[in-house]
A and B are shown apart, each in its own frame.
Chain A
Amino acid sequence: MLKVQEFLKQYDGEPMRIMEVCGTHTAAISHSGIPSVISPKIRLISGPGCPVCVTVTSYIDRLVSLSMEPGCAVVSFGDLLRVKGSARSLNDARALGGQVRMVYSPMDVLKLAAAEPEKTFVFAAVGFETTAPVYALLLGEAVRAGLENIRLLTSLKTMPPVIDWVCAHQGGIDGFLAPGHVSVITGSDLFEPLARKYSIPFAVSGFEPEQILISLYALVRLRGRGVVKNLYPSVVTARGNVQAQRLVSRYFEPCGAAWRGMGVIPNSGIRLRPEFARFDAGSAELTQDRGFHSACRCGQVLTGAISPHECPLFGRACAPQTPQGACMVSTEGSCYQYYVNRRD
């Protein structure tokens, strides 16, 4: 471990740009102070892997308007409450009398729906491959229990197409710290085609600081080679959790998805299958992405095109107390992490 740390600290080769795709990695990197123990020639940039950050404004707007509808309540994870739509956040809606319930697990909706059968509960189903199986479980339970007053407003996304989009549109990335949690479900093989297509190494990494350092070491060593290294073998296999994958495809099918600041990327999301469309709260039309603040550059931050510091709002109009863009809202957002940890 000391050798790895020494190597990363002393590295004096070609400058490298390594993207961590997952928001939990972004937070772990800041939390453990990794930028302060590696060479400035290894630059870590944050990718589009924080589910809150990539949510488009029309999605938030729809949640806000649903929360104000009589007989309807929006159920959400905490992170999403502070994200502004084109005018308001769910927190703002709550202050105006909107029905918003915060939960810790999607399964909590079942209890809410059973307790108040006359009310419709709309779950804000955001997330990546990691979270999708839980929504599938939730639907399975709702169907089994005959609960017809649960709806999902989905904004569910998949990783490979957006990584492909970043490589194709952005370029200049020399390695990917591949998301550990997503890989538990999908398997590490998922990244093979991308690694080969762009000749970029991928390291599937855990979240402990030592695991991240070892992954960075591997990526520097493998520069220019299109290979995938599974460095999180305790929980990640090549093919992933096949049972969870089957569960997801029973309820969901691929679709184009809208990403904040990037537009609609083909096949980069999943939506409810037609036979379960009765559980959908109108997710399909939510592709509009009109920034709350016109100068907000979330889209470019999310693809690593600019560092948070290069956004004209960063640290001025946009700070954790007054977030203008989603990247400043979530504790896993790049802007939030760069701001609170004063990362360069």
Chain B
Amino acid sequence: MKITMAHGSGGKATSELISRIFAANFKNPVLSAMEDAAVVPGAGTLAVTTDSFVVTPLFFPGGDIGRLSVCGTVNDLLMSGAVPQYLTCGFIIEEGAESDDLERMARSMAETAREAGVTIVAGDTKVVEGGGGVYINTSGVGFVPPGRRVSASLCREGDAVLVSGYLGEHHAAVLSARMGIENRIRSDCAPLGEAVESLFQNGVRVHALRDATRGGLATVLNEFAAASGCCIALREESLPVSAPVSGFCGILGLDPLYMGNEGKFAAVVDREDAEKALAVLKASQYGENAAVVGSVVPGEAGTLLVRTSIGGTRIVPELYGEGLPRIC
């Protein structure tokens, strides 16, 4: 079935689209009530976030826009120390989209939500003119357990910097799909609940957390350095990059430090807990290639440095504009 403007009319076609594809996949008592707003139990400190997902192609090696839209919002909640609970989703569908594709996306969202332990409690669908594209917005709510406080501004001199696995996989997978390059690279798109929660459960003193999405690890660590007024130094040879991504970057002139991930995060932890944090991450799902990549050092506030393999030092600035591949 092709999506037409009628599916966005608010009439029968709309309700059929919703019940057949979205309600069927996201089924739960709150959503099935089909009220204008979800009324859910809860108390304590709330974390709330929203994100919109625009990706070409909609299906790529290792994931799809549906999985991405759940992981992105769930991971944002996790990075504030929250336990994610509820999601809402809004679909903007261009006419000409295939309902089979929507079905695949919805199924993928439902599976990912189950994996992440969240419930999709509200949703919306709009159909617009266009060429079959799909855009998804998700908002999320989570609860921050008492006594937990993580913030980009809490990095202190001596703290260790960890990253939860290989860098640049999502960016390289999507770019490969766009460019029609065949390789083994798959998106790392994943919900990070188990990894993050296990840090807290094992008593690691976590100061700052952030998922390294658009702009990559370099962007996240520059944000930490700026927010905490500190200097962060990375060791080049400790940065985890898989051989296929490393080769891909070499050919295109891309830097894995700036490439987007959808299932990796940076954690700044108390120096004494570095080894424990590494062991916990390595034992967690999606964390087998975690590494301690650097530390907070004395130096110019707001600066990210890399100690290179030949013993040199370079500054890693924020990304200026788009990361454009070079010419030669």
Q: Which residues on the A side are within 8 Å of B320 (C-beta)? A: 320-321, 340
The residue in chain A whose Cβ has the minimal distance to the Cβ of B320 is A320
A32-B309, A33-B308 are known; give 16 further A-B pairs, CB within 8 A: A5-B311, A24-B253, A24-B326, A27-B326, A32-B310, A36-B314, A37-B311, A51-B327, A78-B324, A78-B325, A79-B324, A82-B321, A102-B324, A104-B325, A320-B320, A321-B320
Q: Which residues on the B side are within 8 Å of A130 (C-beta)? A: 328
Q: How far is the CA of A82 from the CA of B324 in the complex (A)?
A: 10
Q: How far is the CA of A337 from the CA of B253 in the complex (A)?
A: 14
A316-344 vs B, CB cutoff 8 Å, 1 = contact: the mask equals 00001100000000111000000011100
Q: Which residues on the B side are within 8 Å of A33 (C-beta)? A: 306-308, 310-314
Indicate which residue in A30, A209, A331 contacts B310 across the interface (CB closer than 8 Å).
A209
**Known pairs A34-B310, A321-B320; A341 contacts B315 (CB<8 A):** yes
A127 within 8 Å of B by Cβ? Answer: yes
Evaluate contact between B315 and A331: CB separation under 8 angstroms. Answer: no
Q: Which residues on the A side are within 8 Å of B326 (C-beta)? A: 23-24, 27, 77, 79, 330-332
Q: How far is the CA of A330 from the CA of B321 in the complex (A)?
A: 11
Evaluate contact between A340 and B324: CB separation under 8 angstroms. Answer: no
Evaluate contact between A341 and B314: CB separation under 8 angstroms. Answer: yes
Q: How many residues of B contact A (CB 8 A)?
A: 22
User: CB within 8 Å of B: which residues of A?
Assistant: 5, 23-24, 27, 30-37, 51-52, 77-82, 102, 104, 126-128, 130-131, 181, 209-210, 213, 320-321, 330-332, 340-342
Top 3 A-B pairs, shortest CB-CB distance: A33-B312, A78-B324, A320-B320
Evaluate contact between B309 and A104: CB separation under 8 angstroms. Answer: no
Q: How far is the CA of A26 from the CA of B311 in the complex (A)?
A: 18
Cβ < 8 Å to A, chain B residues 287-328: 306-315, 317, 320-322, 324-328
Evaluate contact between B321 and A320: CB separation under 8 angstroms. Answer: yes
Q: How far is the CA of A36 from the CA of B253 in the complex (A)?
A: 23
Q: How far is the CA of A194 from the CA of B321 in the complex (A)?
A: 39
B1 within 8 Å of A by Cβ? Answer: no
Say how far B139's CB is from chain A's closest CB, in angstroms: 30
User: CB within 8 Å of A: which residues of B?
Assistant: 179, 252-253, 306-315, 317, 320-322, 324-328
Say how far A17's CB is from chain B's closest CB, in angstroms: 20
Evaluate contact between B308 and A78: CB separation under 8 angstroms. Answer: no
Q: Which residues on the B side are within 8 Å of A5 (C-beta)? A: 310-311
Q: How far is the CA of A69 from the CA of B154 in the complex (A)?
A: 54
Q: Which residues on the A side are within 8 Å of B328 (C-beta)? A: 23-24, 51, 127-128, 130-131, 181
Indicate which residue in A81, A126, A341 contacts B324 across the interface (CB closer than 8 Å).
A81
The residue in chain B whose Cβ has the minimal distance to the Cβ of A38 is B312
Say how far A315's CB is from chain B's closest CB, in angstroms: 13
The residue in chain B whose Cβ has the minimal distance to the Cβ of A105 is B179
Evaluate contact between B310 and A210: CB separation under 8 angstroms. Answer: yes
Evaluate contact between A32 and B308: CB separation under 8 angstroms. Answer: yes
Evaluate contact between A30 and B314: CB separation under 8 angstroms. Answer: yes
Q: How far is the CA of A237 from the CA of B68 in the complex (A)?
A: 48
Evaluate contact between A209 and B315: CB separation under 8 angstroms. Answer: no
Q: Which residues on the B side are within 8 Å of A104 (C-beta)? A: 179, 252, 325
Say how far B278's CB is from chain A's closest CB, in angstroms: 26
Q: How far is the CA of A330 from the CA of B253 in the complex (A)?
A: 12
Q: How far is the CA of A78 from the CA of B323 in the complex (A)?
A: 9
Q: Which residues on the A side are within 8 Å of B314 (C-beta)? A: 30-33, 36, 341
Indicate which residue in A30, A126, A321 contacts B321 across the interface (CB closer than 8 Å).
A321
A-B contact pairs, 19 of them (CB 8 A): A24-B328, A32-B314, A33-B307, A33-B311, A34-B312, A37-B311, A77-B326, A78-B324, A78-B325, A80-B327, A104-B252, A104-B325, A127-B328, A131-B328, A330-B326, A331-B253, A331-B324, A341-B314, A341-B317
Q: How far is the CA of A191 from the CA of B317 in the complex (A)?
A: 36
Q: How far is the CA of A3 from the CA of B327 in the complex (A)?
A: 35
Evaluate contact between B327 and A37: CB separation under 8 angstroms. Answer: no
Query: Which among A78, A130, A342 has the greatest number of chain B C-beta atoms within 10 A?
Result: A78
**Known pairs A321-B320, A340-B317; A213 contacts B310 (CB<8 A):** yes
Evaluate contact between B309 and A209: CB separation under 8 angstroms. Answer: yes
Evaluate contact between A31 and B321: CB separation under 8 angstroms. Answer: no
**Known pairs A79-B327, A82-B321, A128-B328; A342 contacts B315 (CB<8 A):** yes
The residue in chain B whose Cβ has the minimal distance to the Cβ of A337 is B314
Indicate which residue in A77, A210, A321 contacts B327 across the interface (CB closer than 8 Å).
A77
Q: How far is the CA of A210 from the CA of B310 in the complex (A)?
A: 8
Say how far B294's CB is from chain A's closest CB, in angstroms: 15
Q: How far is the CA of A78 from the CA of B179 in the complex (A)?
A: 14
Q: How far is the CA of A202 from the CA of B9 in the complex (A)?
A: 71
The residue in chain B whose Cβ has the minimal distance to the Cβ of A331 is B326
Q: Which residues on the A side are within 8 Å of B317 (C-beta)? A: 320, 340-341
The residue in chain A whose Cβ has the minimal distance to the Cβ of B317 is A340
Say how far A272's CB is from chain B's closest CB, in angstroms: 20
Evaluate contact between B315 and A340: CB separation under 8 angstroms. Answer: yes
The residue in chain B whose Cβ has the minimal distance to the Cβ of A5 is B310
Q: Which residues on the B side are within 8 Å of A37 (C-beta)? A: 310-312
Q: How far is the CA of A131 from the CA of B327 in the complex (A)?
A: 8
Q: How far is the CA of A340 from the CA of B313 in the complex (A)?
A: 13
